């Protein structure tokens, strides 16, 4: 199949009896995360059970045949909320009038690559996609970056889209938050639904800090429920290295849990976090001393479509050292991609 948007596209209707369909773009749509993510979006888990969607799916040319198969299966699922499906290898088509964008597609890290190779390989993708978002997406678009290194990729896309406010760009650390909740649930025997307000500082990388100090477990402070040694030791290490552990065990990187976290991130941003603290990596406005512009995971609350960083939380010396460590890594990444941040 060629990259022509008309091929494989189903009939698109904007009108419904109730809400107007929103346009949701997903890149890397034929990949592993895409395969789990699209079904959750299509079923209404992300934007609401009464919110129709038009799916605008982007792949690179070698992925177009796989995308065709994914689109066949989406149609075969007959989701009532799906009012159209477009498949394309042109980001200007995929992002056209998009209200929400999931930037998932990027080159996966291979054995011979270190983090700086990954940054160099994937950075240029986000220059082109940032420019396309700037050119054709809705002015109110919400962008979540999942493709790694996601913080720096979001930084690049944001820099290349000056028309769109920085506050509408984000990167995903929700999987890390969910992993932290999962560990606390397993360790305490309390269901995940009763664990609140554990969140991630920093980079989606093994330097991240899952902060337990404000978390509650069935109404009790996590710091009273768990030993400090566990919170700063096995808990932190397990969360920070979970991605690798899944690869070793499954032979493939986290996909269903990553898709689920992307849905959680966008759902809370879109529909509100009901007063709960959630982790979102956002372009810093200087919060907690993090240099302006760095895409850094902060504690946030979402309401009326807006994510607000929770300011004024006390920072102890351990938390400060973790924040500093993440700032240093992200500054290095920013320097490495400096040439991609200047709009030509
Ligand atoms: P896959 O390799 O299964 O799928 C990626 C898809 O993206 C492929 O179909 C590929 O053809 C497509 N693609 C590549 N370049 C593209 C471009 N320029 N435009 C559009 N599509 C493009 O990877 P998958 O398992 O789906 O993971 C996708 C990304 O998520 C990877 O970068 C991965 O590292 C990252 N992850 C991020 C996580 C997070 O918490 N932020 C966790 C999970 C995951 O590791």
Contacts of 118 (CB under 8 A, 6+ apart): 107, 109, 148, 149
- The whole-model pTM stands at 0.95
Assigned CATH topology for domain 174-334 = L-2-Hydroxyisocaproate Dehydrogenase; Chain A, domain 2 (3.90.110)
Pocket of ligand 1 (CB under 6 A): 27-28, 30-34, 58-60, 63, 104-108, 125, 146-148, 150, 172, 175, 204, 243, 253-255, 258
Tens digits of per-residue pLDDT, 243-267? 999 999 999 999 999 999 999 999 9
* Integer Cα distance of 29 and 68 in angstroms: 10
Q: What is the pLDDT of residue 17?
A: 57
Between CA 168 and CA 145 the distance in angstroms is 11
Among 153, 124, 197, which residue's Cα sits nearest to residue 344? 124
**265 catalytic residue (yes or no):** no
Q: Which residue has the higher pLDDT, 120 or 41?
A: 41
29 CA to middle of ligand 1, Å?
A: 9
Distance 33 CA to ligand 1 centre (A): 7
- Best of 146, 177, 208, 243 to mutate for ligand 1, by most ligand atoms within 8 A of CB? 146
Average pLDDT, the chain: 94
Mean pLDDT calculated for residue range 45-55: 98
Question: Which ligand 1 atom sits nearest the alpha carbon of residue 28?
Answer: 7
* C-alpha of residue 194 to centroid of ligand 1, in Å: 32
Q: Break the chain into its structural domains and give their ranges.
A: 3-171, 174-334
Chosen CATH of 3-171 out of 2.60.120.10, 3.50.50.60, 3.40.50.2300, 3.40.50.720: 3.40.50.720
Question: Ligand 1 mean position to 233 CA, how many Å?
Answer: 30
> pLDDT confidence of 109, banded at 50, 70, 90?
confident
Determine the average pLDDT of the residues in 340-344.
84
Q: Where are the alpha helices (DSSP H) in 217-305?
A: 222-225, 228-232, 234-240, 242-250, 256-271
Q: What is the pLDDT of residue 2?
A: 39
Q: How confident is the model at residue 12 (pLDDT cuts 50, 70, 90)?
A: low
Using 50, 70 and 90 to split pLDDT, how confident is the model at 16?
Answer: very low
Q: What is the mean pLDDT of residues 54-71?
A: 98
Opening angle at CA 257, ends 181 and 226, nearest 5: 15
pLDDT digits (tens, 9 = 90+) for 226-242: 999 999 999 999 999 99
Mean pLDDT across the stretch 114-120?
83
Whose CA is closest to 156, among 111, 106, 89?
A: 106
**How are beta strands 22-27 and 53-58 bridged, if at all?**
parallel
Q: How many C-beta atoms surround the C-beta of residue 313 within 10 A?
A: 15
Determine the pLDDT at residue 9.
Answer: 47
């Amino acid at each position: 199949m060629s990259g022509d948007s008309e091929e494989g596209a189903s009939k698109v209707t904007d009108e419904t009896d109730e809400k107007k369909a929103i346009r949701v773009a997903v890149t890397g749509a034929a990949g592993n995360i895409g395969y789990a993510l699209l079904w959750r979006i299509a079923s209404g888990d992300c934007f609401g059970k009464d919110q129709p969607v038009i799916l605008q799916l982007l792949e690179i040319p070698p992925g177009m045949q796989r995308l065709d198969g994914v689109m066949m299966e989406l149609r075969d699922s007959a989701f009532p909320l799906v009012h159209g499906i477009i498949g394309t290898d042109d980001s200007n088509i995929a992002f056209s009038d998009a209200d929400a964008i999931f930037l998932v597609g990027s080159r996966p890290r291979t054995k011979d690559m270190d983090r700086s190779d990954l940054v160099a390989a994937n950075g240029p993708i986000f220059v082109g996609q940032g420019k396309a978002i700037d050119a054709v997406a809705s002015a109110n678009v919400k962008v979540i970056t999942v493709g790694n290194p996601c913080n720096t990729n979001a930084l690049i896309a944001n820099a290349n889209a000056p028309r769109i406010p920085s506050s509408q760009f984000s990167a995903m650390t929700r999987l890390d938050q969910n992993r932290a909740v999962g560990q606390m649930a397993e360790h305490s025997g309390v269901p995940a639904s009763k664990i609140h307000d554990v969140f991630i500082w920093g980079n989606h990388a093994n330097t991240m800090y899952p902060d337990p100090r404000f978390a509650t477990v069935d109404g009790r402070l996590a710091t009273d429920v768990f030993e400090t040694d566990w919170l700063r030791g096995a808990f932190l290490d397990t969360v920070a290295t979970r991605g690798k552990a899944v690869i070793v065990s499954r032979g493939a990187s986290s996909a269903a849990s990553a898709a689920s976290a992307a849905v959680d991130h966008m759902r809370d941003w879109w529909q509100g976090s009901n007063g709960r603290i959630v982790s979102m990596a956002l372009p810093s406005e200087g919060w907690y001393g993090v240099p302006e512009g760095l895409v850094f995971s902060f504690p946030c609350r979402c309401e009326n479509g807006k994510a607000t960083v929770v300011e004024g939380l006390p920072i102890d010396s351990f938390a400060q050292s973790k924040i500093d460590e993440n700032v240093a890594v992200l500054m290095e990444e920013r320097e490495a991609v400096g040439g991609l941040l200047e709009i030509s």
